[in-house]
Structures are given as C-alpha cells and as structure tokens.
C-alpha cells in the first residue's frame, strides 16, 4: 500500500460515489464551498495503483502557525479492514505533522443503528468492531452524543428511502395534508437560480422565527453555481389573486346549486353545504393576505445537492404567515420524486436531535424516513501536549456558552 498526498479530484469523487459511505461533504467541490479553510485530498493506493482509501481534508489555520484538520463525513475506506485502517491513519498522522496540526477530527458516515420512528432499531453488526479499529490507531471516540449542538455534524439523521412508490410509505395524515395544501392553491416545482432571492427571503424568515442563523443569498448562489445541474432548488408558490377569485366562483356556483336543490334531496343538500363551508374556510384564510397581486408568491423552499445516489437536503425555509397552507408537506415529496428520477435512492432530510422529541424530528417523521444513528466523531491527536491543552480550552468554552 502507498499513501498519496494529492489524489486527483475526479478520481476521488468517483471513488466516493461508489462507496457505501458516499457523502456530499466528501465531494472535492466541497473544498471550494469551504473556501475559508485550506484543503487537500489524500488517499491510499494498492500495488495495482488502485485507490482503496481517500479523503477530502480541510485545514483550519490557527495562531502560532498551528492547524487543525477536519475530514467531514470521511475518510472513505473499508473500516473493517484493520490493516488498511492502521496504514491510512498512521500515514495521515505523519502527513498532518507536516501541516503542524494539533489533531485530526473526523466523523465517517457509518451507521450505528437505524429504525423507522417508534420502531425497534436495527443495529449495524460491524459498528462496534469499526469503532475499536479506529480507536486502535490512537483516536478518541467522542461518544454517543444526542444533541446536535454537541457535534460538528448531527449524529442522527432523517434519511428517506426513495423509490417509485415513495408516496405509499407516508402516513395517512401526511397525504391528507398534502391534498389540503393543493386545495389552498399551493403548487411546487424545481426552480432555477433566478428564484434564489425569493428562497433566501423565506429562509431569512425562518431564521427570525427560530432565532437561528442559517445562510445568506451569496452562500446559496455559491452552492448552486459550484454544483450546477446537481443543485436542486425547489419552491412552493401560491397565486393569491388567482386562487381567491377561483374560490369566489366556486362559492357562487355552490350557492346557485343549493338554491335550485329541492328540499327532498337532503343528501345533495347536505353535500353542497359541506362544500360551501369548506370553500368559505379557504376564502377566510386567503382574505387575511393581500390578494391584489396577480402573480405567484414564494412561500417555502428547499435547497438540495445531489452527490452519488443521495439528495442532500441542506437548507429549507417557510414564510410563517402561510403555515396553515402546509407548503412543506407538498414540497418535500416533489423533491424526493425529482431526486429519484435523477438516480437518487436516498433523500437525506438532515439532522435531528437524538431524543427525537423536538419539532424538527416530529415534522420530518411525517414522511416516515429512516432515523439513522451514526457512530459519531473522533479526534486523532497529532501534537499530544498541545492537543490536551486545546481540547480542555474547547470544552471549557462549550460549557461557558451553554450557561450564557
């Protein structure tokens, strides 16, 4: 085996896409997204010069010429092959010393166990062996954290298995809400980069509502530009003017039918009155908004990136003024179907809390995804003395932030 310090980016991407550990954050283009970090692609080839391990590494420059190295959702290799694990990490550590690294942080996309929400989890029979193989090279396992705030990347993720019949795995109430959104006039589609300003606006509204900081227009534009056709922007819209006048016409027609219905046709009379109440309810909701503009209004959006067989759904936002219109319930299935039609078998909806009792977890459970628990983060010390000092300072800062 031979360690390679400059793996060809295209060769690396092809290797990652074929791996069961395939992940967007290991794509060579991700280094261009994280342009405030240095980067390299390192790996291992066998005696036939075939790539058998590869990793995008990000290099964070610290004071005094020191660095920390992070390989997001990597490295990509067969972790059950202890000889390969030993060789790769020993060589990576030597390489990291040349970069004056304090430590290497990594969190491979290895599933520890997986389950549908509320079901008994199915364990990865190789997970504990893999953890021990990694620890044997001197890496510190940072534990089975439950909170997203405790890790760089969430340890729990909601991952939707995609197929032609993906709609059939949704609970009944999800399908009912999707139809309700359509009745309210909500439509969804994949949009071009021209829709980014409107998407950024709904994300900003989500930030304000939740008191969190996501990303801005420039960042979203960078993602869509770098990933090109593999960037998927889905938006949910409503033409309030059009829908309001459509419902008014429906109401007039129903009232005409009611007026012309003989008193002895009670079933027809009751059915028409039910329809009237339903249309009046939708009209009342619409009347709370400005219905004077005859143009579509973006009320929700999702920005995803396709890499390998997975659609990574990175950012989502919704205008809270339209929460009763349920645009996200309509939009996620459209994104899933578009991903599947373009070769994806997974739609990764992103992280959830390990307790599965937060609002985000409850919303994502409406689509019956697999809740996948990953093995977690590791630190591999390079400069042992300075690593201990820096790790102590990092943990102290985390505790102080938690109390602020």
Q: What angle do CA 112, 44, 346 make, to 5 degrees?
A: 40
Domain residue spans in the chain?
2-109+376-403, 163-237+296-344, 241-286
pLDDT-based confidence at residue 398 (cuts at 50, 70, 90): low
pLDDT at 364 over 50: yes
Architecture of domain 2-109+376-403: 3-Layer(aba) Sandwich (3.40)
Tracing tokens 């969804």 back to the chain, one arrives at 188
Beta partners for residue 158, in sequence order: 371
Poorest-confidence range of 82-96, 121-135, 257-271?
Answer: 257-271
Q: Looking at the chain, how many residues does it have?
A: 404
What kind and span of H or E run contains 17? helix 9-18
pLDDT digits (tens, 9 = 90+) for 372-388: 999 999 999 998 888 87
Query: How sure is the predictor about 149, in pLDDT bands with cuts at 50, 70 and 90?
Result: confident
| 280-290: average pLDDT | 92
Residue ranges of E strands in 167-318: 187-191, 231-238, 297-307, 310-318
With cut-offs at 50, 70 and 90, classify the pLDDT of residue 264. Answer: confident
pLDDT band, residue 150 (cuts 50/70/90): confident
β-partners of residue 233 are 191, 303
Q: Could you count the other beta carbons within 10 Å of the beta carbon of residue 210?
A: 13
What average pLDDT does range 47-60 have in this prediction? Answer: 97
Residue in 238, 176, 184 with CA at minimum distance from that of residue 366: 176
Query: Would you call 385 helix, strand, or coil by DSSP?
Result: helix
**b/e per residue 329-349 (b: at least 16 CB within 10 A):** bbbbbbbbbbbbeeebebbbb
Phi-psi region of 56 (alpha: psi -120 to 50; beta: other; left: phi over 0): beta
CA 295 to chain centroid, in Å, comes to 30
Arithmetic mean of pLDDT over the chain: 93
Strands 67-71 and 101-106: parallel
pLDDT at 77: 98
pLDDT of 386 reads 84
- Longest Cα–Cα distance in the chain: 91
Strands of 51-61's sheet in order across: 2-4, 38-45, 51-61, 67-71, 101-106, 378-381, 140-141
| pLDDT band, residue 167 (cuts 50/70/90) | confident
Q: Which residue has the tokens 């992940």?
A: 23
Place of tokens 């069961």: 20
Separation between Cα atoms, residue 321 and residue 365, nearest integer Å: 23
Q: Kindly state the DSSP code that residue 20 receives in the 8-state scheme.
A: T
**What confidence tier does 41 reach under pLDDT thresholds 50, 70, 90?**
very high
Position 396 pLDDT exceeds 80: no
Other Cβ atoms less than 10 A from the Cβ of 5: the count is 11
DSSP 308: T
The CATH superfamily assigned to 163-237+296-344 is: Gcn5-related N-acetyltransferase (GNAT) (3.40.630.30)
CA-nearest of 107, 93, 105, 200 to 154 is 107
Lowest mean pLDDT among 95-109, 143-157, 205-219, 389-403: 389-403
**Tokens at 394, concatenated:** 């990092």
Which of 83, 61, 60 is CA-nearest to residue 72? 60
Res 213: pLDDT: 66
> Which pLDDT band, with edges at 50, 70 and 90, does 404 fall under?
very low
Q: Using one digit for the tens of pLDDT, what is the confidence trace for 298-307? A: 999 999 999 9
What mean pLDDT do residues 8-29 have?
98
Judge whether residue 63 has pLDDT over 70. Answer: yes
The answer on pLDDT for 84 being more than 90 is: yes
CB 331 within 8 A of CB 188: yes
Please determine whether the domains at 2-109+376-403 and 163-237+296-344 fall in the same fold group of CATH.
yes
Q: How far apart are alpha carbons 54 and 75 in whole angstroms?
A: 6
Beta bridge partners of 351: 157
Percent of the chain clearing pLDDT 70 (strictly above): 95
- For residue 395, what pLDDT is reported? 63
Residue closest to 68 by CA, chosen among 81, 77, 76, 59: 59
The token pair that represents 263 in the structure block: 């008193």
Q: pLDDT-based confidence at 210, cuts 50/70/90?
A: low
184 band by pLDDT with thresholds 50, 70 and 90: very high
Q: Residue 268 is encoded by which pair of tokens?
A: 């027809």
Work out the percent of the chain whose per-residue pLDDT is above 90. 83
Buried b (16+ CB within 10 A) or exposed e, 139-149: bbebeeeeebe
């Amino acid at each position: 085996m031979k360690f390679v310090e400059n793996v060809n980016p295209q060769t690396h991407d092809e290797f990652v896409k074929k791996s069961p550990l395939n992940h967007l954050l290991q794509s060579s283009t991700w280094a261009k997204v994280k342009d405030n970090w240095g980067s390299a692609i390192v790996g291992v080839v066998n005696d036939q010069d075939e790539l058998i391990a590869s990793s995008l590494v990000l290099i964070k420059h610290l004071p005094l010429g020191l660095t920390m190295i992070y390989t997001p959702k990597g490295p990509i290799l067969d972790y059950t092959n202890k000889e390969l694990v030993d060789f790769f990490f020993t060589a990576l550590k030597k390489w990291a010393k040349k970069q004056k690294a304090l430590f290497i942080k990594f969190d491979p996309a290895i599933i520890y166990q997986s389950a549908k929400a509320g079901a008994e989890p199915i364990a990865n029979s190789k997970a504990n062996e893999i953890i021990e193989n990694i620890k044997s090279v001197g890496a510190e396992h940072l534990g089975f954290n439950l909170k997203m705030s405790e890790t760089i990347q969430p340890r729990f993720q909601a991952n939707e298995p995609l197929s032609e019949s993906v709609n059939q795995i949704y609970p009944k109430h999800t399908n009912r809400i999707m139809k309700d959104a359509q009745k309210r006039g909500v439509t969804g589609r994949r949009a071009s980069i021209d829709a980014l300003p409107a998407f950024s606006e709904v994300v900003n509204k989500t930030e304000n509502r939740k008191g969190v900081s996501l990303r801005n227009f420039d960042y979203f534009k960078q993602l869509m530009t770098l990933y090109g056709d593999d960037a998927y922007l889905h938006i949910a819209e409503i033409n309030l003017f059009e829908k309001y006048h459509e419902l008014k016409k429906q109401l007039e027609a129903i009232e005409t039918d009611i007026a012309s219905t003989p008193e002895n046709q009670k079933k027809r009379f009751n059915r028409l009155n039910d329809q009237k109440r339903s249309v009046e309810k939708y009209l009342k909701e619409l009347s709370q908004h400005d219905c004077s503009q005859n143009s579509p209004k973006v009320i929700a959006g999702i920005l995803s990136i396709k890499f390998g067989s997975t659609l990574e759904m990175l950012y989502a936002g919704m205008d809270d003024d339209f929460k009763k219109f349920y645009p996200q319930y309509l939009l996620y299935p459209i994104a899933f179907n578009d991903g599947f039609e373009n070769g994806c078998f997974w739609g990764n909806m992103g992280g959830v809390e390990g307790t599965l009792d937060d609002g985000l977890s409850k919303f994502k459970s409406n689509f019956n995804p697999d809740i996948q628990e990953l093995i977690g983060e590791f630190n591999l010390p390079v400069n042992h003395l300075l690593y201990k000092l820096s790790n102590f300072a990092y943990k102290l800062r985390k505790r102080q932030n938690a109390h602020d």
